[in-house]
Amino acid sequence: MTAGKKFGGTVIFILMIILSAIFLFPIFIVFINSFKTKFSIMGSPFRLPTSETFAGFDNYVTGIKSAGIGGAFLRSLFITVFSVLIIALLCSMTAWYLVRVKNKFTKILYSMFVFSMIVPFQMVMYTMTYVVTKIKFNNPIGIIFVYLGFGAGLSVFMLSGFIKSVPVDLEEAAEIDGCTPIQTFFRIVFPILKPTVITVTILNAMWIWNDYLLPYLILGTQNKTLPVAIQIAMQGAYGSVNWGGFMAMLVLAIVPIIIFYLFSQKYIIEGVIAGAVKG
């Protein structure tokens, strides 16, 4: 390895460390403030807890005892799991159809999926809320299909890119052996799509779990998800906020998705490269 390559590698390594620190700094601030008293958070949010400002686990106890947190956690888990499963299954089947069946209809449909990725949510949220309410999808089961609609664009785009690299010969061989199109997909195509499907699952899981605006618009305060429940529970009278409990609940909300990401991170790079570069 030449000196130039070593220098370039060192520079990139230092830049990655700096970027990682920038991204992790807000999480670190939330974490240290979750152990501080309310007034110390407001007065010195960037300082480490001291003997005078340390609140122990009182903020966590207060947050957990707040009304609706436990139910909101289970509701968020239910919505996230089933939304991700439906997105992964239906979008992979859609992508396979769009790639293998080449006609004007599939080209237009694929273009619509890609176009949906660049439309800001704020442009459609009021109309979407009205329609969803009218068709009675404003409940924990109905919102799963709303997430399917919003998550389909990126998911179909990534999966289509990978399917283009899958040899058609494999599917033709399965057809000769007597497989129906459904059998061909689940026995041949879907197992090959594993890296990209896992990537789609991870990206959508992180988005849906942390989403605040869409559940708030559709479910309101009747069926609160975890982000909505945290905001409401920690909001006091006359605009006061229990910042200690708020920070503690943010930490607890972040932990599950961080654990999920750490166990699945290796598939993200594989899937993104496979879906965006191949084909």
Do 143 and 107 meet the contact criterion of CB atoms below 8 Å apart?
Answer: no
Length of the chain as a residue count: 279
Q: What is the pLDDT of residue 236?
A: 59
Q: What is the pLDDT of residue 270?
A: 62
Domain that holds residue 61: 54-277
Q: What is the pLDDT of residue 279?
A: 43
Residues 6 or more apart whose Cβ sits within 8 Å of residue 185:
93, 96
Q: What is the pLDDT of residue 278?
A: 46
Q: What is the pLDDT of residue 273?
A: 55
Q: Confirm whether 218 is domain-assigned.
A: yes
Residues 6 or more apart whose Cβ sits within 8 Å of residue 78:
140
| Three-state DSSP string of 263-274 | HHHHHHHHHHHH
**Can you give the CATH number for the domain in which 145 is found?**
1.10.3720.10
Q: Confirm whether 84 is domain-assigned.
A: yes
Q: Confirm whether 179 is domain-assigned.
A: yes
With a cut of 70, which residues of the chain have pLDDT below it?
1-4, 67-68, 236-240, 267-279
Q: Confirm whether 22 is domain-assigned.
A: no
Q: What is the pLDDT of residue 1?
A: 54
Q: What is the pLDDT of residue 233?
A: 75
Q: What is the pLDDT of residue 277?
A: 46
What end-to-end distance do the CA atoms of the chain give, in Å? 32
Residues 6 or more apart whose Cβ sits within 8 Å of residue 191:
none
Fill in the amino acid letter for 175: E
Q: Confirm whether 254 is domain-assigned.
A: yes
Q: What angle do CA 203, 91, 265 make, to 5 degrees?
A: 25
Q: Confirm whether 100 is domain-assigned.
A: yes
The number of domains in the chain is 1
Q: Confirm whether 91 is domain-assigned.
A: yes
Beta bridge partners of 235: 241
Q: Confirm whether 7 is domain-assigned.
A: no
